[in-house]
Amino acid sequence: MATAAPVRTDRYADDPRWALISPDPYPLLIGGSLRQAADGATFNAVSPRDDRAIARIALAGPTDVAAAVRGARDAADGDWGRTTGRQRAKLLEQIATVIETHADELAFLEAVDAGKPIASVHYSDISISLDALRFFAGRAQAIAGRAATMPDSSVIHHEYLEPLGVVAEILPWNGPLWTGVQRMAAILAAGNAAIMKPAQMASLSFMRLAQLLAELDMPPGTISVVAGPGPVVGEALVGDPGVDMISFTGGVEAGTRILELAASQVKRVSLELGGKNPNIVCDDANLDGAVFWSKLGAFGNTGQICVCGSRILVQRGVYDEFVERLSAEGAAMRVGDPLDDDTELGPVISSGHASKVWEYIGVGKGEGRLVTGGERYADAERSISTFIPPTVFADVSPECRIMREEIFGPVVALQPFDTLPEALQIANDTSYGLASGLFTSNLDRAAYLSRGLKAGQVYVNQWFSPGVLEAPSHGYKQSGFGGVGMEKYMQAKNVFTRIGEPS
Residue 414 forms beta bridges with which residues? Answer: 312
Specify the long-range contacts of residues 16-25, CB closer than 8 Å, at least 24 apart.
Answer: 17/104, 17/108, 20/105, 20/108, 20/109, 21/54, 21/55, 21/109, 21/112, 21/204, 22/55, 24/56, 25/55, 25/56, 25/57, 25/58
Per the DSSP assignment, residues forming a β-bridge with 412 are: 392
* Catalytic residue flag (residue 487): no
- Measured CA angle at 461 (ends 460, 462), to 5 deg: 90
> Does the annotation mark 272 as catalytic?
yes
Q: How many helices (H) and strands (E) does the chain have?
A: 15, 19
Cα–Cα distances in angstroms (integers) from residue 399 to residues 298, 366, 455, in the given order:
20, 13, 20
Residue 278 phi/psi, 5° resolution? -85, 145
Of the candidates 282, 306, 308, 400, the residue annotated as catalytic is 306
Q: Which residues contact 450 (CB under 8 A, 6 or more apart)?
A: 438, 458, 460
**31: exposed, middle or buried (Cβ count in 10 Å: 0-12, 13-18, 19+):** middle
Q: What is the 3-state secondary structure (H, E, C) of 233-291?
A: HHHHHHHCCCCCEEEEECCHHHHHHHHHHHHCCCCEEEEECCCCCEEEECCCCCHHHHH
Q: Exactly one of 110, 272, 381, 406 is catalytic; name it.
A: 272
**Main-chain phi, psi angles of 409, to 5 degrees:** -155, 180
Question: 377 with 359: CB under 8 angstroms?
Answer: no
As a whole number of angstroms, the distance between CA 190 and CA 466 comes to 23
β-strands 33-35, 28-30 pairing:
antiparallel
Active site residues: 272, 306
